[in-house]
Structure 1
Amino acid sequence: MDVFTVAAVITALSAVVVVVYFLFRQLTTSSWPKTKQSMAYTRNVIPKKRKYQWSLNSLDDFVPTGESTTVHDVAKLFARRGNEFSVYSIDWEQEVVVLIRPVNGADLKAHPFFREAQRRQAAEVLCVPLEKLQEVASAVADKVAHVQEVFIFMTGRCGSTLVTRFVEATSVAQAVSEPEVFSVINMALHRLKRSSQHGQPPPHHGRTTVLSNEESTIALLRNVGILLHYNLVTSDARHRDVIFYKLKPDVILLADLMARAFPSAKTVYMYRDGLEVCESVDRASFHQSYVLYVVTRCVTTLLRVSLLPDYVRCFGEDPKFSTVRYHGTGRFHIYTWWVGAMQCAAGLQKKQPGYFFHAVIYYSALLSDKKKTFRLLMKKLGLKWSPEDPREDTDKIEKALTEDSQAGTLLAARARTPGEKWAPDVSSHWMWQWEREYFWEVCRHTGNEIPGPDFLLPGTIV
Structure 2
Amino acid sequence: MSATIFEILEKVDHLGWANEKDFVLGDEEEVSSQVVSDQKNCSLYSLDLTKNLAWFVELPDGFDLSPSAFAFLDQHKEARRVLRVPLDELETVAQQCPLPRHVIFVFSIGRCGSTLVSHVLNCCPKVWSLSEPIVFPRLIQQNFDVNQRLEYPREKLVKLIRACSRLLFRPPTASEHEVLAIKFHSQCLFHADLYREALPEASFVFPYRDAVGWTKSWYQMAQKYGFAAQLTGEAKTSVWNAVTAADDLAYLGPYVDLDAAALPLEDGIVIGWARNMEEYGRLLGEGVPFLALRYNELNRDREASLRHLFAHCGLPTEDVEGGLAAFDQDSQAGTMVSHAVEAEGMTEDQVARALSLLAKHPRHGNPDHRLADIYSPGP
| Same fold by TM-score greater than 0.5 | yes
Amino acid at match of 1:78: V
- Is residue 403 from structure 1 mapped to residue 329 from structure 2 by the alignment? yes
Give the 4+ runs in structure 1 shifted more than 6 A: 189-193, 301-304
Q: Alignment partner for residue 35 of structure 2, among 68, 74, 77?
A: 77
> For residue 156 of structure 2, what is the aligned residue in structure 1?
216
> For residue 166 of structure 2, what is the aligned residue in structure 1?
226
CA distance in 1, matches of 2:232, 2:143: 29
Q: Quick check: 2:57–2:79 contact (8 Å CA) kept in 1? A: yes
**Residues 230-264 of structure 1 deviation map (CA, whole Å, 9 limit, x = unaligned):** x24xx354241211111111101111111101111
> For residue 68 of structure 2, what is the aligned residue in structure 1?
111
Q: Alignment partner for residue 48 of structure 2, among 88, 91, 102?
A: 91
Deviation (angstroms), 1:312: 3.2
Q: Alignment partner for residue 314 of structure 2, among 362, 367, 382?
A: 382
The size of the alignment, in residue pairs, is 369
Q: Which moved more, 1:245-254 or 1:339-348?
A: 339-348
> For residue 372 of structure 1, what is the aligned residue in structure 2?
304
TM-score, length basis structure 2: 0.85
TM-score, length basis structure 1: 0.71
> For residue 352 of structure 2, what is the aligned residue in structure 1?
436
Amino acid at match of 2:28: S
Amino acid at match of 1:100: V
CA distance in 2, matches of 1:313, 1:376: 28
- Is residue 63 from structure 1 mapped to residue 36 from structure 2 by the alignment? no
**What SS class does the counterpart of residue 407 from structure 1 fall into?**
coil
Q: Quick check: 1:47–1:120 contact (8 Å CA) kept in 2? A: no
Question: How has the CA–CA distance of structure 1 residues 286 and 320 changed in structure 2, closer, same or farther, with 3 Å as cutoff?
Answer: closer
Q: Alignment partner for residue 257 of structure 1, among 194, 200, 209?
A: 194
Q: Which moved more, 1:365-374 or 1:301-310?
A: 301-310
> For residue 285 of structure 2, what is the aligned residue in structure 1?
350
- Is residue 338 from structure 1 mapped to residue 305 from structure 2 by the alignment? no
Q: Which moved more, 1:370-379 or 1:38-47?
A: 38-47
Deviation (angstroms), 1:188: 4.8
**What SS class does the counterpart of residue 150 from structure 1 fall into?**
strand
CA distance in 1, matches of 2:75, 2:209: 28
**Residues 113-169 of structure 1 deviation map (CA, whole Å, 9 limit, x = unaligned):** 1111112111111111012122212333xx31x531111111112111111112112
Instruction: Flag the structure with higher helix content.
Output: 1
Amino acid at match of 2:35: L
Q: Quick check: 1:46–1:123 contact (8 Å CA) kept in 2? A: no
> For residue 220 of structure 2, what is the aligned residue in structure 1?
283
- Is residue 48 from structure 1 mapped to residue 11 from structure 2 by the alignment? yes
CA distance in 2, matches of 1:46, 1:442: 49
CA distance in 2, matches of 1:190, 1:307: 8
Deviation (angstroms), 1:100: 1.1
Amino acid at match of 1:227: L
> For residue 15 of structure 1, what is the aligned residue in structure 2?
none
RMSD: 3.4
CA distance in 2, matches of 1:344, 1:112: 26
Question: How has the CA–CA distance of structure 1 residues 248 and 164 changed in structure 2, closer, same or farther, with 3 Å as cutoff?
Answer: same
Deviation (angstroms), 1:84: 1.4
> For residue 6 of structure 1, what is the aligned residue in structure 2?
none
Deviation (angstroms), 1:323: 3.7
- Is residue 101 from structure 1 mapped to residue 58 from structure 2 by the alignment? yes
Percent sequence identity is 23
Unaligned runs of 5+ in 2: none
Bigger Rg over Cα: 1
CA distance in 2, matches of 1:260, 1:86: 24
**Residues 252-310 of structure 1 deviation map (CA, whole Å, 9 limit, x = unaligned):** 111111110111111011110112112112334546xxxx99xx42x436997355484
Amino acid at match of 1:337: G
Unaligned runs of 5+ in 1: 1-37, 196-206, 417-424
> For residue 179 of structure 2, what is the aligned residue in structure 1?
242
**Residues 377-417 of structure 1 deviation map (CA, whole Å, 9 limit, x = unaligned):** 101222223148xxx9x5xx5642311111221112x235x
